[in-house]
Amino acid sequence: MSNYIFALPQELLDTLTPRLLITPEPPRPSSPAKIEETPTNIAGARACNICPGAFFADVEAQRSHFRSDWHRYNVKVRLSQGKAVDLASFTTLLDELEDSISGSGSDSDSQISDESSTDTVNALLQKTRLNNGKRSPSPDAAISVPRTALTWFHSPPSTQIGIYNAIFPLKTSPSSYLETLKRLQTGGENGRIWSMFMVAGGHFAGLVVRVCPPDEQYKSEDEDAVAKAKKKRKPPPPKPDFEILHHKTFHRYTTRRKQGGSQSTNDKAKGNAKSAGATLRRYGEQALKEDIQNLLSEWAEEVQLSERIWLRASSSNRKIFWDYENAQIAKGDNRLRGYPFPTRRPTQSELMRCLNELTRAKVTHWTEAQLQSQDEEYLASLPKPKPAPVEAIALPPPPKEIVPKLSKEEEALREKWRRVLDMTTKGRLDALTQFWKREGESLGGVDAHVPEWTGERGSTLLQVATISGQEDVVQWLLEDLRANPTLPLFHIADDESELQAVESDHSDTMAVSKPSGPRRTAYDLARTRELRNVFRRCAASHPDWWDWYGDARVPSGLTKDKEEEQEEKKKVRRKGLKDKVRERVAKEKAQVHETTLEEPASAKITGSSKPKQEDGPRKLGGAPSAAEGLVGLTPEMRAKIERERRARAAEARMKALGSR
């Protein structure tokens, strides 16, 4: 069987029907007796996969059904995503029409002209659309199936052919594709001509081909071939599938090697390059454009007669074909098509491959049961239709937060607080001292509560300075301004993490007690030892100012005598460490000396006391590493070298302690 779409066998065309996906219908309640009487249980029965309840005993009855109005009506209804009807429902629809006709399945159908049958089917479809438009969409509506590049036709019992949709006219219903396919078998007066073009990367390939010769030419060639064959007693030669009228390929240097992209695109993105290669590529683009347009002018007659114009080009290269004066192809021409499959570099062989791909029907052989199973699996794999959107109840917008408008006095007060807190947290003591002399009283004094809008974690300036770790500012607040260290921290919930950090810092001081309960003071917020010593020195210098060891939670005072005593203890501890290090170094030296005296004579004879240095690359500095220096030594020499290293390390530690 020939699969050339312009020369399909007539026997195949007579049995073709559009291949449709069958959406599963909900089961209908029926009695067991009726189920047993249905012909589906008859072995070997033929059935129509579109019309429900249509079964045939032989092929002739099946072909007659395919030409009936009932089948035509169901085919068009299914193409419009409708629901097919059985014979009884179709008969009822016919009776409701004013100009009714006899039953579509009877023998009188052969006497009805195709035109009257088509009018009847169209009238039924129009009435069905009007009735369906008045109803609300049901949940059992057919599933919308995405359209593929191929349209499939079915020929009973098990033959399917697929043809690319791009071959058929635009803006036509798939239900008319079968009639169009039948018309493609005739060439008409001038035949059917296709123009095929490709341009990419400076390569161009063009082809004009007659895919279907004129009808008159077919007849004359057949008669001549038969007459010659009778004279020579040879079979007539096979008719050619297509005739190449023109073909042309050429190439211009327009793209950068191994980088891609045209020079014009690069110029638009980065500006005009001034290299010699860029100049050559610009010239190549202009020459390519002129060559293509001149070629289209030479092929103007065939291009105008072309039924389809196949074009592969980028958005910028497409302008070459119509963006000029006296262009042979208009932008938006209904004949323009893109190749519905991937293509390679534009060459003559690639155009021939695309021509064969487009003009050869795809043939499969599946039984109706296999097709039904494939349809069900495919429909099950499709995403389910989204439910109808539910209108959300419009909620009233939330009330906008009313921001109180501040007076000039309030804005000035806020600005003062911002400046004071900024100087406190950054430790700018000199500026803070001068500013406090002028504005301290207007802020409420040193123990004034810090406003919550500032976002500070401390409740007073003393607490803010303590959290920031500013020792000088804390000492100035305690001694010069006599800030109250017994005031608690009011933002308890916001400073739980702060308390945990402070407790971990306090863990190195045995004299500091953890705060019991949620009440915390400025001393509890001090993170460093020096900052806590500021509080302890002030408590020792001015014990009568505040309840330092009670409400202020300071563990003990720190006087100069205590500090000197602590320093003395540190010196004694350091001296004891030095003595221990000296003793250990002396002991290690004595061990090294004894080992040297007791060294076996075998090590001296072999000369392993001075190992030979190996030649080769060394690390920066020239000296070999520790592992390289011990290679090739005896265990006794390795132990000796290791003891010497330890002795040198001990001497270095003693020197470091002596320099302190």
Report whether 238 contacts 221 (CB < 8 A): no
Q: What is the pLDDT of residues 349-386, one digit of tens each?
A: 999 999 999 999 998 888 888 888 887 887 787 777 77
Q: In this structure, how many other beta carbons lie within 10 angstroms of the beta carbon of residue 89?
A: 14
Residues 469, 531: Cα–Cα separation, whole Å: 7
Per-residue pLDDT band at 96 (split at 50, 70, 90) = low
Residue type (1 letter), 256: R
**pLDDT at residue 132 greater than cutoff 80:** no
- Taking alpha carbons only, the member of 456, 387, 388 closest to residue 425 is 456
Torsion of CA 172, 177, 183, 184, to 10 degrees: 100
Give yes or no: residues 531 and 442 share one domain.
Answer: yes
- Taking alpha carbons only, the member of 66, 70, 76 closest to residue 12 is 66
State whether the Cα torsion 12-16-21-27 is positive or negative. negative
**pLDDT at residue 139 greater than cutoff 60:** no
Give yes or no: residues 484 and 541 share one domain.
Answer: yes
Phi, psi (degrees; rounded to nearest 5) at 308: -135, 145
Phi, psi (degrees; rounded to nearest 5) at 633: -95, 155
Give yes or no: residues 351 and 431 share one domain.
Answer: no
**Burial call 136-147: b when 16+ CB within 10 Å, e when fewer:** eeeeeebeeeee
Q: What is the CATH number of the domain that holds 220?
A: 3.30.420.60
Give yes or no: residues 244 and 309 share one domain.
Answer: yes
Residues 116, 627: Cα–Cα separation, whole Å: 104
**Mean pLDDT for the chain overall:** 76
Per-residue pLDDT band at 600 (split at 50, 70, 90) = low
Report whether 177 contacts 76 (CB < 8 A): no
Residue 507 belongs to some domain of the structure: no
Report whether 109 contacts 69 (CB < 8 A): yes
Residue with the bigger pLDDT between 121 and 151: it is 151
State whether the Cα torsion 63-65-68-71 is positive or negative. negative
Residue 309 belongs to some domain of the structure: yes
Report whether 557 contacts 539 (CB < 8 A): yes
Residues of the chain above pLDDT 90, percent:
14
Per-residue pLDDT band at 36 (split at 50, 70, 90) = very low
pLDDT value of position 574: 86
**pLDDT at residue 444 greater than cutoff 90:** no
Mean pLDDT check: name the lowest of 93-97, 292-296, 308-312.
Answer: 93-97
372 catalytic residue (yes or no): no
Phi-psi region of 424 (alpha: psi -120 to 50; beta: other; left: phi over 0): alpha
Residue 221 belongs to some domain of the structure: yes
Partners of residue 197 on adjacent β-strands? 206, 311
Give yes or no: residues 424 and 311 share one domain.
Answer: no
**pLDDT at residue 525 greater than cutoff 80:** yes
Partners of residue 206 on adjacent β-strands? 197, 248
Query: In which residue are the tokens 């409740």 written?
Result: 459
Residues 72, 74: Cα–Cα separation, whole Å: 6
Q: What is the pLDDT of residues 161-218, one digit of tens each?
A: 999 989 998 888 888 888 888 888 888 777 899 999 999 888 999 999 998 888 765 4
Partners of residue 55 on adjacent β-strands? 47
Residues 507, 513: Cα–Cα separation, whole Å: 9
Q: What does the block give as tokens for 133? A: 């438009």
Phi, psi (degrees; rounded to nearest 5) at 88: -65, -45
What are the Cα distances from residue 294, in Å, to 195, 332, 336?
A: 15, 21, 20
pLDDT value of position 175: 81
Mean pLDDT check: name the lowest of 378-387, 417-426, 488-497, 510-519.
Answer: 510-519
Residue 240 belongs to some domain of the structure: yes
Q: What is the pLDDT of residues 432-443, one digit of tens each?
A: 999 999 988 888
Residues 534, 472: Cα–Cα separation, whole Å: 9
Give yes or no: residues 53 and 123 share one domain.
Answer: yes
Last residue of a domain, one of 534, 558, 582: 558
**pLDDT at residue 38 greater than cutoff 60:** no
Residue with the bigger pLDDT between 312 and 46: it is 312
Residue type (1 letter), 583: E
What is the three-class DSSP state of 363?
strand
Give yes or no: residues 533 and 472 share one domain.
Answer: yes
Residue type (1 letter), 646: R
Residues 423, 307: Cα–Cα separation, whole Å: 85
Give yes or no: residues 215 and 353 share one domain.
Answer: yes
For residue 129, the enclosing domain spans 44-99+119-135
**pLDDT at residue 570 greater than cutoff 80:** yes
pLDDT value of position 622: 46
**pLDDT at residue 338 greater than cutoff 80:** yes
Residues of the chain above pLDDT 70, percent:
72
* Among 263, 293, 463, 470, the one annotated catalytic: 263
- Whether the model clears a pTM of 0.75, i.e. scores above it, the answer is no
Give yes or no: residues 234 and 92 share one domain.
Answer: no
Residue 652 belongs to some domain of the structure: no
Q: What is the pLDDT of residues 448-472, one digit of tens each?
A: 888 888 888 778 889 899 999 999 9
Mean pLDDT check: name the lowest of 109-123, 492-506, 565-579.
Answer: 492-506
Residue 216 belongs to some domain of the structure: yes
**Burial call 368-387: b when 16+ CB within 10 Å, e when fewer:** eeebeeebeeeeeeeeeeee
* Mean pLDDT, residues 314-324 taken together: 87
Torsion of CA 168, 170, 175, 176, to 10 degrees: -60
Residues 374, 38: Cα–Cα separation, whole Å: 24
**pLDDT at residue 5 greater than cutoff 80:** yes
Give yes or no: residues 351 and 437 share one domain.
Answer: no
Report whether 464 contacts 446 (CB < 8 A): no
Report whether 337 contacts 224 (CB < 8 A): no
Domain tally for the chain? 3
How far separated are the first and last CA of the chain, in Å rounded? 105
Last residue of a domain, one of 531, 558, 585: 558
Residue 371 belongs to some domain of the structure: no
pLDDT value of position 599: 55
Phi, psi (degrees; rounded to nearest 5) at 3: -105, 15
Give yes or no: residues 353 and 466 share one domain.
Answer: no
Give yes or no: residues 355 and 412 share one domain.
Answer: no
Residues 494, 180: Cα–Cα separation, whole Å: 80
Mean pLDDT check: name the lowest of 57-71, 245-259, 600-614, 645-659.
Answer: 600-614
Residue 289 belongs to some domain of the structure: yes
- In the chain, the largest separation of any two C-alpha atoms, in whole Å, equals 142
